[in-house]
Structure 1
Amino acid sequence: MNNTPAPSETAIETPRAQRVDMKLEVVVIPVSDVDRAKRFYSGLGWRLDADFAAGDDFRVIQFTPPGSGCSVIFGKNVTAAAPGSAQGRYLIVSDIEAARDELLGRGVEISEVFHDASDVYVGADAPYLFGRLRVNGQDPEHRSYRSFASFSDPDGNGWLFQEITARLPGRVDGNDTTFTSSTELAGALRRAAAAHGEHEKRTGQQDADWPDWYAEYIIREQAGEPPPS
């Protein structure tokens, strides 16, 4: 008698709940000229965390983008990957035009803003969005996940800005709402103010409990849930 589970039985097995936090800490970027790469990433305004060397055969440099919980490292004998082979590295921003303008002000060459015109967002990969031809300009409805801008480091490693102001359902724990910068929080407050103004128009009266309404709106927005009534 064969007691081997059928493939369908394995596929539908429910995984056990994850009980240990696993935070993505570092992404490795393959470069050919360490000092040139260091100048480039420093020029982006990223924080230099480390520059360690062990003799002439090993060196590692770590940078962290503003507001990011994940850093990048590169150096000498850090990775066997070919320089320039890191592509589609996403940098999430709440205002893509402001992020692009900042890089332009730092002398970094960056594409115009473009967007995914399809009905369902599925990802990004220049010059197409997984088979969908990208369209110039920001998403007309300013929807999250839809607007992008791309740039590369001197080795050709590719980066994408992606504008997100509200997460998809399930992507954020409503009990653990956080902001990585004052700029991000200010943007959330502006959106809450605009939404609250529409709320007061619907009710026809001023809302004395607007701080509570703002707080609930921000939590719901980050969790991808509808705004409070």
Structure 2
Amino acid sequence: MDWKIELIAIPVTDVDRAKDFYTKIGFNADHDHRVNENLRFVQLTPAGSGCSICLGEGITDAEPGSVRGMQIVVASADEAYRQLVAAGVDAKPVETLDWGKFTYFADPDGNQWAVQELPKYN
């Protein structure tokens, strides 16, 4: 049996601000639906990803900005860094480690993300 991670809730204070931020950095806005006055569901997917994030009202009781350790894998950390900076994101310059190249950023609520370029082994 396959167990696939397909959706991760990201706690935010302002759904529209967060949706604008994530679409500005290249996530696709897949779904935005207000179910009722207490529940709004927004699903966003990074280009090429099989896993999405969801934002909204009534989605999670986690503290906005409390997510740490979310990681996205890209073909080029340098290109990702340039794209983030061009979108106005305060991304950290690319760091090269034995297990890949990384840049880091946070969303407007402080949820923290790592962007990794996997090492190329021969």
- Deviation of residue 31 (structure 1)? 0.5
2:22 pairs with 1:68: no
2:118 pairs with 1:156: no
Identity of aligned residues (%): 40
The 5 A counterparts of 1:201-212 are: none
* Number of aligned residue pairs: 122
Select the residue among 44, 61, 67 that pairs with 1:80: 61
Greater RCO (Cα-Cα under 8 Å, separation 6 or more): 2
Check the 8 A contact 1:94/1:165 in 2, yes or no. no
TM, length-normalised to structure 1:
0.51
* CA–CA distance in structure 2, aligned partners of residues 45 and 83 of structure 1: 21
The 5 A counterparts of 1:81-100 are: 81-100=62-81
- Residue by residue over 1:84-118, the C-alpha shift from the partner in whole angstroms, topping out at 9 and shown as x without a partner, is 001110011121101111111222210111234xx
Structure 1 residue runs of 4+, over 2 Å off?
A: none
Q: Give the match's secondary structure for 2:82.
A: helix
* CA–CA distance in structure 2, aligned partners of residues 94 and 164 of structure 1: 8
Q: Structure 2: which amino acid aligns with 1:22?
A: W
* CA–CA distance in structure 1, aligned partners of residues 30 and 100 of structure 2: 32
Match of 1:146 in 2: 100
Q: Structure 1: which amino acid aligns with 2:92?
A: S
- Residue by residue over 1:27-46, the C-alpha shift from the partner in whole angstroms, topping out at 9 and shown as x without a partner, is 11000111111111111111
Match of 2:83 in 1: 102
Structure 1 unaligned runs (5+)?
A: 1-19, 117-142, 167-220, 222-226
Check the 8 A contact 2:35/2:41 in 1, yes or no. no
